[in-house]
Amino acid sequence: MIQMVASRPATGEVSSCRDAYLSAYRWMLLGRILDEKFASLYRAGKIHGGVFIGRGQEALSVAIGQSLRKGDIFAPLIRDQAGRLAFGESVLEAARTYLGSVLGPMRGRDGNVHRGRPKEGYLPMISHLGAMIPVVNGMLLARRFKGIAGTVGATCLGEGGTSTGAFHEALNQAAVEKLPLVLIIANNQFAYSTPSSRQFACRSLVDRAAGYGVEGHSLDGTDLTACLKVVGEAVANARDGRGPQLVVARLLRLCGHGEHDDAGYVDTKLKQSPVGRDCLKVAGEYLVRQNWAERETLVAWRNEATQKVEEAIAKAQREPAPDPYTENWCALASKHLSEVYE
Amino acid sequence: MSITYLEAIRLAQKRALAEDPRVFIYGQDVGAFGGAFKATKNLAQEFPGRVIDAPISEDAMVGAAIGAAIEGMRPIIEMQFADFSTVGFNQIINQAAALHWRTQVPCPITIRLPSGGTSGGGPFHSQSMEAIYAHYPGLIVMTPATVEDAYSMLLEAVAIDDPVIFCEHKYLYYHLKADQLPTEAMPTGKARIARSGRDLTIVAYSAMVHEALAVAEELATEGTEVEVVDLRSIKPLDTDTVMASVARTGRLLCVGEAFPWGGVTAEVIARVASEGFGLLDAPPQRLNAKDTPVPYHPNLWAVHRPTARSIVVAARKLLRQ
Ligand SMILES: Cc1ncc(C[n+]2csc(CCOP(=O)(O)OP(=O)(O)O)c2C)c(N)n1
C-alpha cells in the first residue's frame, strides 16, 4: 500500500530516502511526545490559557520542516510542533513559551503556539488565520530586492483558514509576483467543530491552484512517504523558480480543537476510515516492515524523546516568570517616542 | 435558579429567535456545536435553519448580515472573539455604519463581540474594541456589566434599527450570576448608578464596573463613599448621569480596560471638563490598560489592565487632591 518510489531506485537514493524517513520519524515522535506533555500539563492546570496540538498531522508538518534549509522562511501554525522541531526549534524553546518562562523567545508576552524568531526566518503566528501568508510573501519580495536567490518561504494553514480573504489575497499576490512560496493546507476535516463541507464547495482545495495560476499538489497526509515526497518536490519547485506551490493534504485532526475540546462531533466512522489513520503509527510500522528499524529501536527512541521532553519541561518550570515591575512596558522600537500614561 | 451572564446571552438570543421570525444567527461553530463559548447552545436544534455555521470569513459574514438586513432580516453575528472582528472591520464601519446615512435604509444588525481579557488569553484573544467602533458614526456600542443588562440589552440590540456592536465580556461569562432574568429594563443610552456615594465618582463599564465596586467596598470601610456609574452603553454615552454624579461628588475617575490612547475614558473626561468644569474639585483622572498589546502571562496581564488594586491607588490619590 505504501510505495517508497515508483521505479526501482538506485542504492544511493534508497539510503537517502531511508535517512530522511528515519530523521522525519524521530522528529514526529519528539513532536508527539512534547504535545502529549503539554496536554497533560494542561489537564493538571499547569498551563496558562489553551493548548493546541498537532496529533495526526506530524507527518505533513515534519515534511515541511525537514524540506526547508537554513536561510529559508517558515511560518508554522497551531498544529506544527513536529515541523517546528525539524526546522530547528528546540524543545526547550517550546517548553519555555508554553510555561511562560521569561527566558523564552516571547518572554511571557505571548504564549503557546504564538512563538518564533523572525530574524531567523521563523515567524511567530498571530491568531488571525491567513495573516501569515502575505508576511512570508513580503519577506520573499525583500529577498528579491536584496538579490538573495534560492530561498523559499513555507507556511501552513488549515482548510478553515482558506475561507479567509487573507488566504485569497496572499495566494494571488504570490502568484502575480511569482514568489517561491509553498503553502501547505492541512485539510483535517474540521475547523474547530465545523466540517469541511461548511467551509468550501469545490471537490478538493487543490482545484483552486489552477484558478490562482499556481502549481497544485494533493496527498495523503497520513503517509509520511507521500508527505516527504510531495512536500519535498513542492519546495524544490519553488526553489527552482516555478512560483508558488499549493499543497493540500487529506488527514484527520486526532485531537480536539484545543485540549479543552473533546471533539465529540467527530464521527467514529471517519476516525476508522483511511483518513483517520495515525501517521506516527503508520510510519513506525513502515520502518519495521522495511527493516529500517527494529521494534525495540522504536521503543528506545520513544524513551529517549520522553527524557528529552521531561528535562526541558523541568528546566523551563524552574525558570523565572516575567516580573511586571521590571517589565519594560513599551511597544515601540523608538523608545524616545513612547508616551507615559499614568 | 441561578443564571450566568453567558446563559443570559443565550436566553436573549433564544427569545429573539422565538419572537421574531426575522432573526437568525450566523457565526463560526454556532450551529450544532453551540459556539466556542456555548452562547448558542441548543439553539440550532430548537430553531432549525436559523442558526448557521459560517466559514472563517468575518468580512463576508458581516457583509452578508448587512445584505440580509436590507432585505428586512435581523441577523445576529457572533464573532468567535472580538479580536477577529478586525477582519470584518471594513464591512462594519464603511458599509453597515454608513448605510442609513447614505440611503435612509436602516441596517439592523447585531454583532456580538466576546471581549476583554482572561488569564492566559494573550494579545489576540483579549482585546477590548469598543472605542474603535464607537468612533464611527452610525454604530451603537453596548457594554453590559450585569446579567440583567446582558439579557435585556441584547434583546434591545436586535430590536434597534441600527447596527449594534454588542461587547460581552468573557471574564463575566461565568463569574456573574443572577437569580432571575429581568422583567423590565433601563433603556439603552441611560447609565446606571451601580452604587451611590458622595466623595468620588468612578465611571466604568463592562468588567471594570465590578473592579470599581470592589474599590467602593474597600474605601467604604475607611469612611469614603464612592459612587460607581455603570455606563451600560458607551455609544450613546449618558453624559447627564455622569455629570449629575460629578455634581454630587466633585471628583471623577474613569476606568476602562482598553488601551490608554483616546477611548471611552478620554471621551467621558472631555465631556465633563468642557461641560461641567465648575463641578470638579480636582482634575479628573483616567485609568486604562497599559500601552502595549495584552500580554499572555498572568503576572503581566494582572498589571496590564486596571484592577481593584490599581484603581484604589488612583482613587486615594484623587481623594487627597
Ligand atoms: C480570522 C480568524 N477567525 C476566527 C478564528 C478562530 N479560530 C481559531 S482556530 C479556528 C479553526 C481553524 O480551523 P482550520 O483552519 O481548519 O485549522 P485546524 O484548527 O483544523 O488545524 C478558528 C475558527 C481565527 N483564529 N482567525
Q: What is the pLDDT of residues B165-179, one digit of tens each?
A: 999 999 999 999 999
SS3 B177: strand
Q: Which residue minimizes the CA distance to atom 24 of ligand 1? A: A128
A199 and B56: CB-CB below 8 Å? yes
Atom of ligand 1 nearest to the CA of A199: 16
Interface test with B, best of A99, A162, A169, A193 (most B CBs within 10 A): A193
Q: What confidence category does residue A320 fall into, taking pLDDT thresholds of 50, 70 and 90?
A: very high
SS3 B231: coil
Domain total of chain A? 1
* Mean pLDDT, range A108-112, rounded to an integer: 97
Report residue B180: phi and psi, to 5°: -150, 165
* Mean pLDDT, range B304-312, rounded to an integer: 98
What are the tens digits of pLDDT across the range B20-78? 999 999 999 999 999 999 999 999 999 999 999 999 999 999 999 999 999 999 999 99
State residue A3's pLDDT score: 38
Q: Which residue minimizes the CA distance to atom 17 of ligand 1? A: A158
- The rounded distance, in Å, linking the Cα atoms of B310 and B256 is 12
Q: What confidence category does residue A7 fall into, taking pLDDT thresholds of 50, 70 and 90?
A: very low
CB-nearest partner of B56 from A109, A161, A322? A161
State residue A340's pLDDT score: 87
SS3 B15: helix
Residues touching ligand 1 (Cβ under 6 Å) are A 78-79, 127-129, 158-161, 164, 186, 188, 190-192, 253, 257; B 28, 56, 58, 80, 84, 87
* A304: Cβ contacts below 8 Å, ≥ 6 apart: none
Q: Is pLDDT above 50 for B163?
A: yes
Q: State in Å: Cα A254 to ligand 1 middle.
A: 16
What are the tens digits of pLDDT across the range A37-79? 999 999 999 999 999 999 999 999 999 999 999 999 999 999 9
Total beta-carbon pairs less than 8 A apart between chain A and chain B: 128
Q: State in Å: Cα A159 to ligand 1 middle.
A: 9
In a domain, A108, yes or no: yes
A329 → chain B, closest CA residue: B292
A341 and B291: CB-CB below 8 Å? yes
A261 → chain B, closest CA residue: B36
Q: Is pLDDT above 90 for A246?
A: yes
Question: Quick one: cell of A148?
Answer: 538573495
State residue A10's pLDDT score: 60
Q: State in Å: Cα A250 to ligand 1 middle.
A: 17
Min Cα separation A237/chain B (Å): 30
- The rounded distance, in Å, linking the Cα atoms of B87 and A231 is 30
State residue B295's pLDDT score: 98
For a mutational test of ligand 1's pocket, the pick from B29, B37, B56, B112, i.e. the residue with the most ligand atoms closer than 8 A to its C-beta, is: B56
In a domain, A243, yes or no: yes
Q: Indicate the burial class of A137 (C-beta count within 10 angstroms; 0-12, 13-18, 19 or more).
A: buried
What separation in angstroms does the CA of B303 have from each of A213, B129, B266, B299, B310?
A: 50, 19, 20, 7, 8
In a domain, A13, yes or no: no
Min Cα separation B29/chain A (Å): 6
What are the tens digits of pLDDT across the range A148-170? 999 999 999 999 999 999 999 99
* B281: Cβ contacts below 8 Å, ≥ 6 apart: B250, B251, B321
Q: What confidence category does residue A6 fall into, taking pLDDT thresholds of 50, 70 and 90?
A: very low
CATH number for position A132: 3.40.50.970
Q: Is pLDDT above 60 for A2?
A: no
Q: State in Å: Cα B91 to ligand 1 middle.
A: 20
In a domain, A4, yes or no: no
- The rounded distance, in Å, linking the Cα atoms of B108 and B300 is 39
Question: Quick one: cell of B61?
Answer: 459574514
Question: Quick one: cell of A96?
Answer: 519555555
Chain B hits for A42, Cβ within 8 Å: none
Task: Tell me which residue range forms the domain holding A312.
Answer: 20-258+267-323
Interface test with B, best of A128, A132, A326, A337 (most B CBs within 10 A): A128
What separation in angstroms does the CA of A77 have from each of A115, A117, B56, B124, B225?
A: 10, 14, 16, 14, 51
Cα atoms in the 13 Å half-sphere on the side-chain side of B201: 29
Atom of ligand 1 nearest to the CA of A190: 20
Among residues A124, A267, A310, A8, which one has the least CA distance to residue B32? A267
In whole numbers, what is the pLDDT of chain B averaged over residues? 98
In a domain, A290, yes or no: yes
State residue A5's pLDDT score: 39
- The rounded distance, in Å, linking the Cα atoms of A206 and A187 is 10
In a domain, A31, yes or no: yes
* Mean pLDDT, range B131-144, rounded to an integer: 98
B83 and A128: CB-CB below 8 Å? yes
- The rounded distance, in Å, linking the Cα atoms of A203 and A217 is 14
Q: State the virtual CA torsion across B210, B216, B217, B221 in degrees, nearest 10.
A: 170
Identity of the amino acid at A6: A
Q: What confidence category does residue A234 fall into, taking pLDDT thresholds of 50, 70 and 90?
A: very high
Question: Quick one: cell of B210?
Answer: 465590578
SS3 A41: helix
Identity of the amino acid at B124: F
Q: Which residue minimizes the CA distance to atom 20 of ligand 1? A: A191
What are the tens digits of pLDDT across the range A113-133? 999 999 999 999 999 999 999
State residue A4's pLDDT score: 38
Question: Quick one: cell of B129?
Answer: 474594541
- The rounded distance, in Å, linking the Cα atoms of B144 and A261 is 28
- The rounded distance, in Å, linking the Cα atoms of B25 and B65 is 9
Which positions 268-287 of B are in contact with A (Cβ < 8 Å)? Answer: none
Q: Is pLDDT above 50 for A19?
A: yes
Residues of chain A whose beta carbon is less than 8 angstroms from a beta carbon of chain B are 47-50, 100, 106, 108-112, 114, 126-129, 160-161, 163-166, 191-194, 198-200, 265, 321-325, 327, 329-331, 338-339, 341
State residue A341's pLDDT score: 86
Q: Is pLDDT above 60 for A9?
A: no
In a domain, A121, yes or no: yes
SS3 B128: coil
Interface test with A, best of B51, B56, B255 (most A CBs within 10 A): B56
In whole numbers, what is the pLDDT of chain A averaged over residues? 95
- Count CB atoms within 10 A of the CB of residue A283: 26
Q: State in Å: Cα A189 to ligand 1 middle.
A: 12
Counting DSSP H helices and E strands in chain B, the numbers are 13, 14
Atom of ligand 1 nearest to the CA of A79: 21
All structural domains of chain B, each given as residue ranges with its CATH number in brackets, are 3-178 (3.40.50.970), 192-319 (3.40.50.920)
Atom of ligand 1 nearest to the CA of B56: 3
Q: What percent of chain B has pLDDT over 70?
A: 100
Rg over alpha carbons for chain B, rounded to the nearest Å, is: 19
- The rounded distance, in Å, linking the Cα atoms of A253 and B144 is 37
Q: Is pLDDT above 90 for A85?
A: yes
For a mutational test of ligand 1's pocket, the pick from B29, B61, B80, i.e. the residue with the most ligand atoms closer than 8 A to its C-beta, is: B80
CB-nearest partner of B124 from A128, A200, A323? A128
Q: What confidence category does residue B308 fall into, taking pLDDT thresholds of 50, 70 and 90?
A: very high
| Helices A224-239 + A58-67 axis angle, to 10 | 30
Tell whether B53 is within 8 A of chain A (Cβ): yes
Chain A hits for B59, Cβ within 8 Å: 165
State residue A11's pLDDT score: 65
Report the 3 state secondary structure along B31-79: CCCCCCCCCCCCHHHHCCCCEEECCCCHHHHHHHHHHHHHCCCEEEEEC
Report residue A15: phi and psi, to 5°: -70, -35
For a mutational test of ligand 1's pocket, the pick from A58, A77, A192, i.e. the residue with the most ligand atoms closer than 8 A to its C-beta, is: A192
The C-alpha cell 436544534 sits at B45
